[in-house]
């Protein structure tokens, strides 16, 4: 759970400081919205309570990856317009250019059919 008003801190189950370039740990962020598709597909586990697309501030240790970055600390910077109520809760603005994660659903459905 990403608590409003508190940065998310990465923790690696292997015990080292996250992110480590040789590990997969850290808080993931993608450069382009389409890069988020891989994090939506097949992620309907029971523990998933909601999804929101947005921009995120990353700091601390940041490792560049193929589609974006992995970081040690993060907090939402802005969220999709459909998540205005959540944006208020987190104290961040909505950004009209961020697509809603629901806009990925038709493509997700066609890629799993
Ligand atoms: Zn690790």
pLDDT one-digit tens code per residue, 58-96? 999 999 988 999 999 999 999 999 899 999 999 999 999
Residue % of the chain over a pLDDT of 70: 82
Å from CA of 55 to ligand 1 middle: 24
Distance from the CA of 65 to the center of ligand 1, in angstroms?
14
3-18: pLDDT as tens digits: 999 999 999 999 999 9
Concatenating the DSSP letter of every residue in the chain gives ---TTS-EE---TTSSPSP-TTSS-SEEEESSGGGGHHHHTT---TT------EEEEEEEEEEE-SSEEEEEEEEEEEE-GGGHHHHHHHT--B-TTSPPGGGGHHHHHHHH-
Specify the pTM. Answer: 0.81
Ligand 1 centroid distance, CA of 35 (Å):
22
Cα(28) to ligand 1 centroid in Å equals 13
**Residue 18 CA to ligand 1 centre (angstroms):** 6
């Amino acid at each position: 759970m990403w608590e409003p008003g508190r940065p998310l801190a990465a923790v690696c189950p292997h015990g080292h400081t996250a992110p480590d370039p040789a590990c997969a740990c850290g808080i993931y962020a993608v450069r382009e919205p389409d890069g988020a598709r891989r994090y939506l597909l097949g992620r309907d586990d029971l523990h998933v309570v909601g999804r929101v697309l947005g921009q995120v501030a990353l700091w601390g240790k940041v490792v560049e990856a193929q589609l974006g970055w992995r970081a040690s600390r993060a907090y939402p910077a802005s969220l999709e317009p459909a998540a205005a109520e959540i944006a208020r809760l987190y104290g961040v603005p909505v950004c009209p250019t961020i697509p809603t994660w629901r806009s990925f659903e038709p493509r997700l459905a066609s890629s799993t059919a």
